Amino acid sequence: MTDQQRIDFEARGYLILEKALPGSELDEARRAFDAAPDLSELPNHDSIFIHLSQHAGFFPHVHRIIGDVVQLRSITGSLIVPGDSGCGWHRATASMLGVHHPLSTVGVVTVLHLDPTADDDACVAVVPGSHRFRSELSIPDVDRIEEMPHAVRLNAAPGTVLLLHANIWQARLPNATGTRRSLTYVYNHCWMRQALPALQSDAQGAIAASHNLSQLFGIGPDLSRATGYWSRSVEGYPSSHGLPERKFSELKVVGQGVKPNK
Amino acid sequence: MTPSQARDQYDAQGYVIIRGALKSGELKRVQDAFDRAQENDALGDILNQDDVFVDMVDHPALLPVVRAVVGEDAQLRYGRGGLIKPHSDTGSGWHCDLSEIGGINLPESIIMTKLFTYLETVPETGACLACVPGSHRYEMGHPLPDLDDHEDMPHQVKMVAEAGDAVLMNGFTWHARFHNRSDIPRKVLEYSYIHSWMKTQYEFSDFSAHVQSLILADHNRRQLFGVPEPEVSDYERRLV
């Protein structure tokens, strides 16, 4: 992630990564998508959906935003047909208690477009900067998705990946024409619950072979529970504590007298 | 003190003391069960040792305060017993439990809170819990001072407690447990509460069939012990 991308994400609450999935991988993802009998069970249908979770075209950005403790919350496929009425304005974190969301980053919603979108065709829309709005601020009572003030439509070509801060005001516009396929990978922190399907043995085998995939999918006796969950770490990336960047006290434990401070 | 008043104190200081949460007869029952668990070397698995420890998770003098502080999506992270022998230098040092966590603006969030219920008196010279009031509001990264002894921490407050008292403490509050320089063992139940969207430190299968039956019989217990409800997102679980 470049400095400019970090600044953009922190300021606007989203990033657009064009051509994140190259053509050959896009074709492979489409083939696997079309063959999947259940779009809520993708990791069990084809290992491509497992490996996409740490795709080099977007995962380093996700890792930078969430931090070393990144894991997957969910993977879903969406097939938007003509006449679809869209998805109204909402915050993905709206019912999540306990967190001061405007200054926190509990998750990243990653949308992988397999088909193009246009202004009226299943386009994701956001209100830039709304991830910093206080939770008490009500979403305007608009009748139509298109009426939201200051909304921006995130049109996307196939292979484009959108990264949305989980607290941003977001919607999906109605779809007038064409069928739109997309994949949504939601990432959160290791110490948070996941909403993945029960993984079958083939999927578990593919995941268990990789440290990073094991962490992302939360498998393994020491990963599925909370013990030590504050300090898990994926490998192969520059260490990140996530965004917004935070400071840590240099000393962690002081004043025991019988032991040195550390 | 009402749950709302307790929440106000907790918000201001990062902890709240609940005096006399356990009355004499009940206290005796819990003390006896604790001693049996200790004899069986099972304080780390206390929820499986006696029904009384399951009852403590939703105790009528304590759960309303937990709800007021954590919220209606409260869940138990773990429950265990702790024993500190008299005259032992086992103090924990000053620290913050959430010092490693990223992603959350902690001064304005409540992610994890601990409930300590004391089963023996903790005198001034005992293995007191101590807190720095208001430190849960410190800017993130505020440095811990490089001090030598527990007593050196400025503005600290020691929680001198009677048997049956409880303390609810924010996981972001600077705190320490002092060395036990008294003749009294520190016997405490430590239950940690989090939100339903967070992982617990146990699996439901860790519990005996009997404890599982105690949990499954009640909506609130199912939520508190993290039993999944397939139709409800973990973001949206609520106590009734």
Q: Which B-chain residues 37-96 have CB contacts (< 8 A) with chain A?
A: 70-73, 77-78, 89, 91-96
Nearest CB partner across the interface for A100, out of B92, B109, B197 = B109
- A1-60: pLDDT as tens digits: 999 999 999 999 999 999 999 999 999 999 999 999 999 999 999 999 999 999 999 999
* Residues of B with Cβ-Cβ distance to A242 under 8 angstroms: 102-103
With 80 as the cut, is the pLDDT of residue A221 above it? no
- Alpha helices (H) in B40-184, listed in sequence order: 51-55, 63-70
Do A99 and B236 make contact, defined as CB atoms within 8 angstroms? no
Q: Is residue A52 part of a domain?
A: yes
Q: Which residue has the tokens 């048997």?
A: B163
Angle at CA of residue B65, ends B63 and B69, nearest 5°: 115
Per the model's pLDDT, the better-predicted residue between A124 and A227 turns out to be A124
Distance from CA of B148 to the nearest CA of A (A): 4
* Residues of B with Cβ-Cβ distance to A135 under 8 angstroms: none
Distance from CA of A42 to the nearest CA of B (A): 19
Distance from CA of B102 to the nearest CA of A (A): 6
Say what percent of chain B tops pLDDT 70: 100
Do B104 and A104 make contact, defined as CB atoms within 8 angstroms? yes
Do B235 and A100 make contact, defined as CB atoms within 8 angstroms? no
* Residues of B with Cβ-Cβ distance to A102 under 8 angstroms: 105
pLDDT band at A112 (very low <50, low <70, confident <90, very high): very high
Q: What is the ipTM of this complex?
A: 0.94
What does the alpha-carbon distance between residue A145 and residue B109 come to, in Å, rounded to a whole number? 31
pLDDT at A224: 54
pLDDT at A246: 81
pLDDT at A228: 63
Has domain B3-138+151-224 been given CATH number 2.40.50.140? no
Of A258, A169, A244, nearest in space to A11 by CA: A244
Chain B residue whose CA is closest to A251 = B144
B155 interfaces chain A, CB cutoff of 8 Å: no
pLDDT at A257: 87
- Alpha helices (H) in B50-93, listed in sequence order: 51-55, 63-70
* Residues of A with Cβ-Cβ distance to B197 under 8 angstroms: 96, 192-193
When computed from its CA atoms, the radius of gyration of chain A, rounded to whole angstroms, is 19
Cβ neighbours of A239 (radius 10 Å): 9
Do A250 and B143 make contact, defined as CB atoms within 8 angstroms? yes
Mutate to test the interface with A, among B76, B104, B202 (most CBs of A within 10 A): B104
pLDDT at A245: 85
- B113-137: pLDDT as tens digits: 999 999 999 999 999 999 999 999 9
* Residues of B with Cβ-Cβ distance to A191 under 8 angstroms: 101, 198-199
- B180-238: pLDDT as tens digits: 999 999 999 999 999 999 999 999 999 999 999 999 999 999 999 999 998 999 999 99
With 90 as the cut, is the pLDDT of residue A229 above it? no
pLDDT at A206: 94
Do B102 and A241 make contact, defined as CB atoms within 8 angstroms? yes
Q: Is residue A8 part of a domain?
A: yes
Nearest CB partner across the interface for B199, out of A192, A248, A250 = A192
Nearest CB partner across the interface for A104, out of B93, B109, B200 = B109
With 80 as the cut, is the pLDDT of residue B107 above it? yes
B161 interfaces chain A, CB cutoff of 8 Å: no
Distance from CA of A140 to the nearest CA of B (A): 22
Q: Is residue A133 part of a domain?
A: yes
Q: Is residue A258 part of a domain?
A: no
Q: What residues contact residue B179 under an 8 Å CB cut-off, 6+ apart?
A: A257, A258, B88, B89, B90, B91, B127, B150
Mean pLDDT to the nearest integer, B96-107: 90
Q: DSSP letters of A64-114? A: HHH-TTEEEEEEEEEEEPTT---EEEE-TTTT--S--GGG----EEEEEES
Domain edges within chain B: 3-138+151-224
State how far Cα A125 lies from the chain centre.
16
In this structure, what CATH number is given to the domain that contains residue A178? 2.60.120.620
Q: How many CB pairs under 8 A join A and B?
A: 146
- A115-166: pLDDT as tens digits: 998 767 889 999 999 999 999 999 999 999 999 999 999 999 999 999 999 9
Distance from CA of A218 to the nearest CA of B (A): 11
Of B158, B107, B10, B101, nearest in space to A252 by CA: B101
pLDDT at A225: 59
Q: Is residue A136 part of a domain?
A: yes
Q: Over chain B, what is the mean pLDDT?
A: 96
Domain count within chain A: 1
Nearest CB partner across the interface for A256, out of B91, B107, B195 = B91
Mean pLDDT to the nearest integer, B54-69: 98
* Residues of B with Cβ-Cβ distance to A90 under 8 angstroms: none
- A47-93: pLDDT as tens digits: 999 999 999 999 999 999 999 999 999 999 999 999 999 999 999 99
pLDDT band at A226 (very low <50, low <70, confident <90, very high): low
Question: How far apart are the two ends of chain A, measured CA to CA in Å?
Answer: 32
B103 interfaces chain A, CB cutoff of 8 Å: yes
- B130-165: pLDDT as tens digits: 999 999 999 988 999 999 999 999 999 999 999 999
Q: Is residue A247 part of a domain?
A: no
Q: What are the structure tokens assigned to A250, written together?
A: 């240099």
A132 lies in which domain range? 3-217
Nearest CB partner across the interface for B200, out of A93, A95, A226 = A226
pLDDT at B158: 96
Distance from CA of A246 to the nearest CA of B (A): 7
Distance from CA of B78 to the nearest CA of A (A): 10
